[in-house]
């Protein structure tokens, strides 16, 4: 490992489902998913590995999951229990380093550079942390160990479930070159398709591009991809993440058929948002107001404007403009604000705009 940075990414295996199986061992023998009801446009949050054999995946609609696996056992999420397990895991992390950056309830980065535990070996620390999570919390976790966050996160998925993988500095190039570009941050289906049309399918072929050419095609993401495909990531592990945005969104049991119905739904959404903004008590002034729409065909758009004090009227104007882009029934509406500017440090990864409502 690099003498400068030793990063561990710990990712619990099917976390919500694992907590449920821990508390009810009979669930270990059945395909299990955690999510919303199929008759209320529910979405799968996670599934155990038995359910995944049937193609059940997170972010899949519950209705589709039930069609793929008719024997699927569906449970609603129990966040108090999940938070309790998450807090127990975090206490374990903090015994090894105070440089812990949580990404969600079930995963985090740990910077263990210079730590004395396990003779300073990040690999041994990861093994010990995983063993303690299994013994003390009752679930399994996987880990990736590398010299930066990018590689550690990719590596944590390498030997799932209940495994770990190390990318030493000498192996970075051999590890990164054959990776499909979909493994890189910021590369979703649409970007992967654009890259494929340009003849780029893996990091080796992406390395042939200059930063200027990538930036011309993909903007700031292109500059980030230039470094990512080489395994370069200088971002530090940040213990306290500054909130970049605040929002709420609703998925409606029945589509909102037209703009008038969307306008009628907007006041309740705004009221919920303003309550959340008041509870957040963030001293910073909003920089932008944003409205998000997902149409009935799952196409999505958003509209934003510079605004330090958004109100219902601002959100209503943004809604009108956003809806005009599709002009179709709407299944989801969201409103929110962004704080500060849009620039991100390090390799240029943009944090998710929409917090979980």
Does residue 309 have a pLDDT over 80? Answer: yes
Domain that includes residue 200, residue range: 177-228
Half-sphere exposure of 277 (CA within 13 A, CB side): 24
Distance CA 174, CA 23 (A): 42
C-alpha dist (Å) from residue 241 to 69, 138, 208, 237, 268: 39, 28, 34, 10, 29
Asked if residue 92 and residue 61 are part of one domain, the reply reads no
pLDDT in tens, 65-113: 999 999 999 999 998 999 999 999 999 999 999 999 998 889 999 999 9
pLDDT in tens, 191-212: 899 999 999 999 999 999 999 9
Asked if residue 11 and residue 155 are part of one domain, the reply reads yes
Asked if residue 163 and residue 88 are part of one domain, the reply reads yes
Asked if residue 11 and residue 140 are part of one domain, the reply reads yes
Domain boundary among 59, 77, 95: 77
Asked if residue 326 and residue 265 are part of one domain, the reply reads yes
Mean pLDDT in residue range 275-280: 80
Return binding residues for Mg(2+): 11, 106
Distance CA 100, CA 113 (A): 12
Mean pLDDT in residue range 294-322: 90
Asked if residue 92 and residue 11 are part of one domain, the reply reads yes
What integer pLDDT is reported at residue 40 of this predicted model? 66
- Answering whether pTM is above 0.85, one says no
Active-site annotation holder among 107, 128, 215, 313: 107
Domain boundary among 52, 77, 102: 77
**107 tagged catalytic:** yes
Domain total for the chain?
4
Q: Which of 26-40, 126-140, 193-207 has the lowest mean pLDDT?
A: 26-40
Q: Examine residue 21 and state whether it is found in any structural domain, yes or no.
A: yes
Distance CA 127, CA 122 (A): 9
Q: Examine residue 344 and state whether it is found in any structural domain, yes or no.
A: no
β-pair type (286-295, 107-111): unpaired
The CATH number that applies at residue 213 is 1.10.150.20
Distance CA 305, CA 311 (A): 12
Q: Examine residue 1 and state whether it is found in any structural domain, yes or no.
A: no
What integer pLDDT is reported at residue 276 of this predicted model? 84
Asked if residue 113 and residue 206 are part of one domain, the reply reads no
Mean pLDDT in residue range 284-302: 89
Asked if residue 62 and residue 32 are part of one domain, the reply reads yes
Asked if residue 128 and residue 11 are part of one domain, the reply reads yes
What integer pLDDT is reported at residue 20 of this predicted model? 97
Return binding residues: 11, 106
Local confidence band at 175 (pLDDT 50, 70, 90 cut-offs): very high
354 or 51, higher pLDDT:
51
Asked if residue 120 and residue 11 are part of one domain, the reply reads yes
Round the average pLDDT of the chain to a whole number and report it: 89
Q: Examine residue 236 and state whether it is found in any structural domain, yes or no.
A: no
Tell me if 167 sits within 8 A of 149, measured CB to CB: no
Mean pLDDT in residue range 293-312: 89
Does residue 348 have a pLDDT over 70? Answer: no
The CATH number that applies at residue 50 is 3.40.1170.60
In percent, how much of the chain has pLDDT > 90? 68
Tell me if 12 sits within 8 A of 137, measured CB to CB: no
Asked if residue 106 and residue 72 are part of one domain, the reply reads no
Does residue 244 have a pLDDT over 90? Answer: no
Does residue 12 have a pLDDT over 70? Answer: yes
Distance CA 111, CA 1 (A): 12
What integer pLDDT is reported at residue 277 of this predicted model? 84
Asked if residue 164 and residue 85 are part of one domain, the reply reads yes
What integer pLDDT is reported at residue 3 of this predicted model? 52
Local confidence band at 283 (pLDDT 50, 70, 90 cut-offs): confident
Instruction: Name the token pair of 183.
Output: 């493994």
pLDDT in tens, 142-157: 999 999 999 999 999 9
The CATH number that applies at residue 289 is 3.30.1490.100
In percent, how much of the chain has pLDDT > 70? 92
348 or 51, higher pLDDT:
51
Tell me if 167 sits within 8 A of 144, measured CB to CB: yes
What integer pLDDT is reported at residue 349 of this predicted model? 32
SS3 319: helix
């Amino acid at each position: 490992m690099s003498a400068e940075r030793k990063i561990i990414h710990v990712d619990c295996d099917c976390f919500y489902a694992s907590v449920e199986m821990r508390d009810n061992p009979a669930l270990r023998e059945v395909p299990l998913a955690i999510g919303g009801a199929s008759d209320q446009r529910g979405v799968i949050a996670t599934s155990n590995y038995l359910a995944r054999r049937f193609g059940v995946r997170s972010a899949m609609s519950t209705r589709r999951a039930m069609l793929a696996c008719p024997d699927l056992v569906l449970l609603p999420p129990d966040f108090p229990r999940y938070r309790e397990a998450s807090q127990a895991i975090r206490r374990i992390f903090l015994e090894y380093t105070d440089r812990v950056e949580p990404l969600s309830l079930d995963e985090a980065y740990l910077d263990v550079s210079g730590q004395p535990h396990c003779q300073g070996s990040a690999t041994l620390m990861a093994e010990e942390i995983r063993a303690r999570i299994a013994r003390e919390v009752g679930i399994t976790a996987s880990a990736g160990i590398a010299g930066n966050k990018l590689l550690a996160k990719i590596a944590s998925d390498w030997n799932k479930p209940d495994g770990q993988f190390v990318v030493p500095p000498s192996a970075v190039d051999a590890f990164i070159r054959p990776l499909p570009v979909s493994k890189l941050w910021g590369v979703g289906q649409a970007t992967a398709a654009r890259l494929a049309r340009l003849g780029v399918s893996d990091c080796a072929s992406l390395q042939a591009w200059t930063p200027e050419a990538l930036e011309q095609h993909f903007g700031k993401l292109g500059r980030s991809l230039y470094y990512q495909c080489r395994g370069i990531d200088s971002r530090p592990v940040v213990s306290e993440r500054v909130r970049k945005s605040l929002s709420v969104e609703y998925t409606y049991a029945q589509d909102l058929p037209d703009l008038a119905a969307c306008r009628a739904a907007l006041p309740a959404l705004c009221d919920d948002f303003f309550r959340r903004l008041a509870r957040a008590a963030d001293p910073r002034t909003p920089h932008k107001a944003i409205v998000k729409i997902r149409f009935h065909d799952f196409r999505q758009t958003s509209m934003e404007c510079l605004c330090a004090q958004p109100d219902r009227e601002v959100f209503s104007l943004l809604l009108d403009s956003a809806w005009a882009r599709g002009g179709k029934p709407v299944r989801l509406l969201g409103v929110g604000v962004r704080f500060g500017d849009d620039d991100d440090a390090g390799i240029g990864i943009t944090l998710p705009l929409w917090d979980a409502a």
